[in-house]
Amino acid sequence: FSQSGPLPNHGFLRTSEAWEVVDASTTDGVPSVTMRIGPTPESRAAPGWAEAEFDVTVRVSLLADSFRFELEVANNAEVPLVFTGALHTYFAVPDVKTAAVRGLKGRKFIDKVRDFQKFDEAEEVVAFVGEKVDRGYLQTDTVVMADGTGREIAISKEGWTDSVVWNIGEAEAGSLADMGPGEWQRYVCVESGVIDPETPVTVAPNESWLGIQTISCKL
List residues bridging with 206 in a β-sheet: none
The confidence score (pLDDT) of residue 104 equals 98
The fraction of the chain above a pLDDT of 90, given in percent, is 84
The confidence score (pLDDT) of residue 46 equals 86
Q: What is d(CA 74, CA 81) in angstroms, rounded to the nearest whole number?
A: 9
Tell if the pTM clears 0.85, that is, is over it: yes
Instruction: Give the pLDDT band of residue 2 (cuts 50, 70, 90).
Output: very low
What is the tens place of the pLDDT at every residue in 87-145? 989 999 999 999 999 999 999 999 999 999 999 999 999 999 999 999 999 999 999 99
Instruction: Give the pLDDT band of residue 219 (cuts 50, 70, 90).
Output: confident
Average pLDDT score over residue span 157-182: 94
The confidence score (pLDDT) of residue 218 equals 84
DSSP for residue 33: E
What is the tens place of the pLDDT at every residue in 4-24? 566 667 778 888 899 999 999
The confidence score (pLDDT) of residue 38 equals 96
Contact between 34 and 53 (Cβ < 8 Å): no
The confidence score (pLDDT) of residue 11 equals 78
Strands 208-218 and 66-75: antiparallel
What is the chain's mean pLDDT, rounded?
93
> Taking 80 as the threshold, does the pLDDT of residue 165 lie above it?
yes
Contact between 132 and 169 (Cβ < 8 Å): yes
